[in-house]
Amino acid sequence: MKKVYLSLLLPLFSYSMIFGESINITGTVLNAGGGPLKDVTISLSRVTGISTKTDSLGKFVLLSPSNVIQVSSLNPKTLNFGVKGRELIFYPASGNGNVTVFSAQGKQLANQGFSGISPQRLTLPCFAPGLNFLRVTINNTIYISPIVVTGNTVYLKTPGSTLKESAGPAKLIAASIADTLIAIKPGYSDKKIPITSYTLSGISISMDSIVTCNATTLKEAGACRSNHKMLIGVAISPGKLNDPNAAREFNYVTPENEMKWQNIEATEGVFNFSQSDAIVTWAQQNGIQVKGHCLVWYNQLPGWVTQAKGRERVLGIMKKHIETVIGHFGNKVQSWDVVNEAFITDNRDGNGNAQMRNCVFYSEIGPDYIDSAYTIARRYADSHNMKDLKLYYNEFTIEAENDKSRFARKTIKEWVDRKIPIDGIGLQTHLGPPYNLPTADMMRDNMQYYADLGLDVLISEWDINLCSGQISKEQQLKLYHDITIVCVNQPKCIAITFWGLNDSESWLNTYSTTLCNGANSQSLLFNNGQKKDTYYQVLNGLNGK
Ligand code: XIL
């Protein structure tokens, strides 16, 4: 076993900064014409929460905040430790204590207690990629060390040195990009600069002003930039096809229920496409793309599927369903949510015990039902003249920073690493306080993470529930605007779909387990066919304003 041991873990006394690896990045931001740009927000992708702004000369200094590394150089006690994979190993003489992981700006990410004497072997809790701090407390003495997480591997940072790998091949380090510097200014395209170190000076960044448009419908605004066209979609049902806003404003639709298993194959082997065909025919007549929703999901399944037993039997059922449904629509449906909502947490805010959801596919086939579902779909599409078909994974409450979003990032990276043929991630974006209220920054970070994996990103089922006034209308308007801008600024963000047309038709008003339990949601862009203020926030955002 290869282990790297570090000493120099320091008790908390005074406030001097002593780690050579703290953040210190300086530079200048200019507009494309060469002039300095003031008030550009500079931040890092992997170190959340720290940011600075450029001054009137376009200059910035990004430092790790002094309250993060409040350590003393006076008679430090040391504690040796090692990390292998996610296993932390150390040798306390005796005692009780706990292990805590903090982000670079001092936010507690995870905490875990231990008791007993040496050696201690703990599996490190899940925490965010990038620079973090590990704190071990034993008998009231606090020890701290910076650590870095890249993918699933924990790296140690020693004072004044480069990254030290704790497990895995050494070449990973030399090639690795430490982080991404992000420059943001309203009216300008976000700029992302890969950096190899947290101590850099004299970086020069040039920013282009954003292309603004004056489109008057959502779909035209989404398509107004030739180098980044976004589809603008809506959940639809056959009863809504005549709503004039549907075809006027949107060029992408997701059938709200009609393609779900219980509606298409309620009885084994008996396929009923009448409702879904009505939507697809209408979409074709109106030049609208369709996202099929959804092939493999734990919910809205007929009893004969949920009761099925045995790996081969359930694999067979799943294969027949995927191939028949994809095959029926052919190229009239351009993309599919192949698997929907495969993750679960104990709490509805996305925290507690993030794991794979136990459904019939998981329990009978095993965790590799994901691999099978995508492989079946891809093989069938490619061998039936549907090579352009896009295959997506769709999930809720992975927009904010929580256990579920961390689990999603880790798990989806594993899927990509093992070459599961997946093209994109749908962030459902059912937002509602207090359970799921990401900031636009968190959305940006999550989108960037999936974009960096090479995946497309979609806002796939957007609504923002007011939850009977738990957030104000102003907050709702700002979120609709700022998150739209995040998508405009992310080249891999290819579509935004709203989960319904009119407020009165939203599933949030009636569905019993939604966020806020059916409280007066006022969550969408239209009310009785009229455009709401929310509509104009999204339209402005799409127009780059
Ligand atoms: C909802 C529909 O909007 C409701 O009409 C239906 O009763 C339940 O399902 N995540 C999804 C969607 O992926 O399929 C769900 O749609 C909303 C949550």
pLDDT in tens, 377-415: 999 999 999 999 999 999 999 999 899 999 999 999 999
Ligand 1 centroid–CA 264 distance in Å is: 15
Of residues 418 and 143, which shows the higher confidence score? 418
Summarised one tens digit per residue, pLDDT across range 527-540 is 999 999 999 999 99
The predicted pLDDT at position 401 comes to 85
Q: Give CA–CA dist 118/116, Å, rounded.
A: 7
pLDDT of 451 higher than 70: yes
What atom in ligand 1 is closest to the CA of residue 337?
Answer: 13
pLDDT of 125 higher than 80: no
For the segment 462-468, the average pLDDT, to the nearest whole number, is 92
Ligand 1 centroid–CA 77 distance in Å is: 56
Ligand 1 centroid–CA 397 distance in Å is: 14
Burial 502-537 (b: 16+ CB within 10 A, else e): bbebbbbbeeeebbbebbebbbbbbeeeeebebbeb
For atom 13 of ligand 1, the residue with the nearest CA is: 340
Of residues 481 and 156, which shows the higher confidence score? 481
The predicted pLDDT at position 166 comes to 37
What atom in ligand 1 is closest to the CA of residue 341?
Answer: 13
Residue with tokens 């599409």: 381
Kindly report the average pLDDT of the chain as a whole number: 84
Q: Give CA–CA dist 354/377, Å, rounded.
A: 27
**For the whole model, what pTM was predicted?**
0.77
Sequence-distant (6+) residues with CB within 8 A of 329 are: 276, 280, 290, 292
What atom in ligand 1 is closest to the CA of residue 340?
Answer: 13
Known catalytic residue at 341 = yes
For the segment 105-127, the average pLDDT, to the nearest whole number, is 67
Bridge-partner residues for 20, per DSSP? Answer: none
3-state secondary structure 218-237: HHHHHCCCCCCCCEEEEEEC
The predicted pLDDT at position 106 comes to 55
Ligand 1 centroid–CA 275 distance in Å is: 16
- Ligand 1 site-directed mutation target among 234, 236, 240, 257, most atoms within 8 Å of CB: 257
- Name the nearest CA neighbour of 257 among 219, 299, 224: 299
Max alpha carbon distance in the chain (Å)? 77
Ligand 1 centroid–CA 499 distance in Å is: 9
Residue 11 — very low, low, confident or very high, per pLDDT cuts 50/70/90? Answer: very low
Ligand 1 centroid–CA 396 distance in Å is: 11
| Ordered alpha helix ranges (H), 471-532 | 473-488
Q: Kindly give the pairing relationship between strand 108-115 and strand 96-103.
A: antiparallel
Contact 37, 56 (CB under 8 A): no
Catalytic pick among 220, 399, 401, 461: 461
Residue with tokens 């799943």: 318
Ligand 1 centroid–CA 510 distance in Å is: 11
3-state secondary structure 300-335: CCCHHHHCCCCHHHHHHHHHHHHHHHHHHHHHHCCE
- Ligand 1 site-directed mutation target among 461, 501, 524, most atoms within 8 Å of CB: 461
- Name the nearest CA neighbour of 296 among 407, 216, 373: 373
pLDDT of 160 higher than 90: no
Q: What's the distance, Cα to Cα, between the start and end of the chain in Å?
A: 56
What atom in ligand 1 is closest to the CA of residue 394?
Answer: 13
- Name the nearest CA neighbour of 341 among 444, 428, 226: 428
What atom in ligand 1 is closest to the CA of residue 293?
Answer: 14
Residue 15 — very low, low, confident or very high, per pLDDT cuts 50/70/90? Answer: very low
Ligand 1 centroid–CA 292 distance in Å is: 13
The predicted pLDDT at position 179 comes to 73
- Name the nearest CA neighbour of 479 among 449, 438, 515: 438
For atom 16 of ligand 1, the residue with the nearest CA is: 256
The predicted pLDDT at position 518 comes to 63
The predicted pLDDT at position 177 comes to 53
Catalytic pick among 249, 341, 364, 505: 341
- Name the nearest CA neighbour of 94 among 112, 122, 120, 74: 120
The predicted pLDDT at position 395 comes to 98
Residues with CB under 6 A from ligand 1: 256-257, 340, 394, 396, 428, 461, 507, 511
- Ligand 1 site-directed mutation target among 507, 510, 515, 523, most atoms within 8 Å of CB: 507
- How many C-alpha atoms does 56 have within 13 Å on its Cβ side? 0
Ligand 1 centroid–CA 257 distance in Å is: 7
Q: How far lies 519's CA from each of 152, 509, 515, in Å? A: 40, 6, 9
Contact 230, 493 (CB under 8 A): yes
For atom 5 of ligand 1, the residue with the nearest CA is: 507
Q: Give CA–CA dist 168/497, Å, rounded.
A: 41
Summarised one tens digit per residue, pLDDT across range 290-336 is 999 999 999 999 999 999 999 999 999 999 999 999 999 999 999 99
Tokens of 217: 């419908």
The predicted pLDDT at position 20 comes to 32
Ligand 1 centroid–CA 147 distance in Å is: 41
- Ligand 1 site-directed mutation target among 511, 512, 523, most atoms within 8 Å of CB: 511
Q: 10 Å Cβ neighbour count for 359?
A: 20
Sheet containing 199-207: give its strands across: 59-63, 24-31, 199-207
What atom in ligand 1 is closest to the CA of residue 507?
Answer: 3
What atom in ligand 1 is closest to the CA of residue 510?
Answer: 7
For atom 4 of ligand 1, the residue with the nearest CA is: 507
Sequence-distant (6+) residues with CB within 8 A of 268 are: 304, 317
Q: 10 Å Cβ neighbour count for 160?
A: 9
Summarised one tens digit per residue, pLDDT across range 18-41 is 333 468 899 999 998 889 999 999
What atom in ligand 1 is closest to the CA of residue 297?
Answer: 13
Instruction: Return the H-helix or E-strand segment holding 98.
Output: strand 96-103
Known catalytic residue at 461 = yes
